[in-house]
Amino acid sequence: MSEANAARSGRWTAVNRWGIRAAYLALVVWFGLVLVRFHDPEDGFNRLIMFGAKQGLPQLSDFKRLNFLLMHDGYGYDAQYYAQIAMHPDLKDPELKTAVDSLAYRSRRILFGWTAYALGWGDPARILAVYVLQNAIAWVILAWLLLHWLPPVSWTNFFRWGGVLFCAGLCMSLRNALLDGPSLMLIALGVWLLDRNRKWLGIGVLALSGLAKETNLITGTALIKPEDRSWRALGRLALLAVLLAVPLALWLIYIRVTVGSALDAGVRNFDWPLRAYFATWKDAYEVMYRPYWFKMGQTVMVMMVALTTQMLFFLLRWRPKEIWWRVGVSFAVLMVVLGPAVWEGYPGAAVRVLLPMQLAFNILVPRTRAWWLVLILGNVSALYSVNFLRPPAGSGYRVEGPAAVRTSEDGREKVRVDFGPGWFDTEESSSSYWRWVPADTGFTIINPRQTSIKVRLSFYLGSVDHRMAKVLLGEKELWSGPTETQQKIELPVLELPPGRTAFQIKTDRPPQVPTVPPGSTQVLAFALRNLRLQVEP
């Protein structure tokens, strides 16, 4: 009987072991499937950067020939500046001073601009492609490094491993091509090297990480040896601190000479201890009781629960002899003094700024049942990770036809549509994509070739009321009819000369406020749905 039980137990152990490994692999596969959803035939993976038209700054000339998604109704996000710095990482292009909102401040984080430029061989299109994919590459490397501390031998390790890789902060970094995910990978790599007694290589990696984000340098606490309190040890630690700071210090000097003062800490990035933290709790509570804002307030609340759990774990459980504890408590202290600029938003930047604390937390929470609730609360942000991994709806049009006729002769530019600033951003369902506009307007087709092209246009027009519309090319009427029908509009084959060709859409009524959803206030004229350009050979 005992032999039979032992055999069954052995089989169960083997099945359980393979089940855990399969779960690890499944998460990696799911990550790949999520990443593929961001790929667009026209834009590649460039939809991982949010460029905003409302931020009001001119873009580099290098960007005029690139395919990327421009949010006409938004301000974009930080990566739109870092990607442009990557085009000229020597900072000497005069256009950078007007294209980047704070060049001296943002250029401090130059490391992944250098890598994008180097791997892109100086070509703008390749640089942008490399830049946006660095987060995905860093995610894969991080997933492998974490196996050192969280190997696939138990379900609790799987929970912790997945909790890091799919926490809100890391997903936000991936979704917006930010620097936080790659920075976390460098920190993990540096500590991994220290764990394997590759001290000087680990120090070198941590020093380089300061060129990715200056706050990474506080991970230098990993080099402290609390048990050695001699003057010699203190002197050695001071020397190591200087070595960590040297790369960033030299780069700051270069920025000072090339651009100007680089000592700005960032507008409202720091504040009195816990003042911005408590203000965030208050704002999240108030937002939850506003119409249509409940989910945003709920998201912030969940993020605050996760970060608070992690912070208290490090501040209340003193373990200075552990490397990851020293790293985690350093970021817990940083969390205390973060300013309103880091906490503001839904959910705000704090969840990604404090990613090293999330990683250290998942490694160090004791592996007993008594700590399961703490572990779950510290990882609760993963429940909302799916919200940050939804791809944008795209550009609002599709271009089809042989590549030889829908690209310029040198292959660097493609036939494309410019909607202009009046249009709202693209929305989509499983089978359709569309853009609303608040007033009669049009769109422009750009032919980058040196010769004319033949194009067949098809689309649908919709509106919130009954109205008649017409499509014009100059003074020539190409189509007219009602907008509320589901009839597909197909224009005759048009010959478009090189350059820009403008189309106008006019209706017979002023814009209206929709009755659905209740409480809508935005006036709308019409929606252009499923715009398709077929370029003829």
The answer to whether the beta carbons of residues 353 and 270 sit under 8 Å apart is no
Tens digit of pLDDT for each residue in 196-250? 999 999 999 999 999 999 999 999 999 888 877 788 878 888 899 899 999 999 9
Count CB neighbours of 521 within 10 A.
Answer: 6
Per-residue b or e along 33-61, where b marks 16 or more CB atoms closer than 10 Å to that residue's CB:
ebbeebebebbbbbbbbbbbbeeeeebbe
DSSP assignment of 372-422 equals HHHHHHHTGGGGGHHHHSPPP--SSEEEES-TTTSB-TTSS-B-EEE--TT
Q: What is the pLDDT of residue 1?
A: 47
Residue matched to tokens 């704070």: 102
10-residue mean pLDDT profile of the chain (537 residues): values are 56 78 95 89 81 78 77 78 94 91 91 96 92 96 97 95 96 94 97 93 95 94 83 85 93 92 68 92 79 70 95 95 95 95 85 96 95 96 83 82 86 84 80 87 93 95 88 93 84 94 93 64 86 93
DSSP letter (8 states) at residue 522:
-
Beta bridge partners of 470: 480, 506
Q: What angle, rounded to 10 degrees, do the helices at 355-364 and 294-316 form? A: 60
Q: Which two tokens stand for residue 224?
A: 């402290």
Instruction: List Cα–Cα distances, 203 to 141, 207, 221, 407, in angstroms.
Output: 19, 6, 11, 47
Q: What is the pLDDT of residue 3?
A: 59
392 closest CA partner among 38, 54, 75, 73: 38
Parallel/antiparallel/unpaired status of strands 499-507 and 433-437: unpaired
pTM over 0.85: no
Residue matched to tokens 């790599």: 189
Reported as half-sphere exposure (CB side, CA atoms, 13 A), residue 288 has a value of: 13
d(CA 66, CA 398): 16
For the chain, the domains span 37-388, 397-536
Q: What is the pLDDT of residue 224?
A: 86
3-state secondary structure of 504: strand
Per-residue b or e along 245-276, where b marks 16 or more CB atoms closer than 10 Å to that residue's CB:
bebbeebbeebeeebeebeeeeeebebeeeeb
Tens digit of pLDDT for each residue in 431-454? 788 899 989 999 999 999 999 999
The answer to whether the beta carbons of residues 443 and 503 sit under 8 Å apart is yes
d(CA 26, CA 12): 20
Parallel/antiparallel/unpaired status of strands 70-71 and 51-52: parallel
471 closest CA partner among 462, 463, 485, 461: 461
DSSP letter (8 states) at residue 453:
E
User: 370 burial class (0-12, 13-18, 19+ CB within 10 angstroms)?
Assistant: exposed
The answer to whether the beta carbons of residues 428 and 456 sit under 8 Å apart is no
Give the type of residue at 513: V
d(CA 450, CA 217): 52
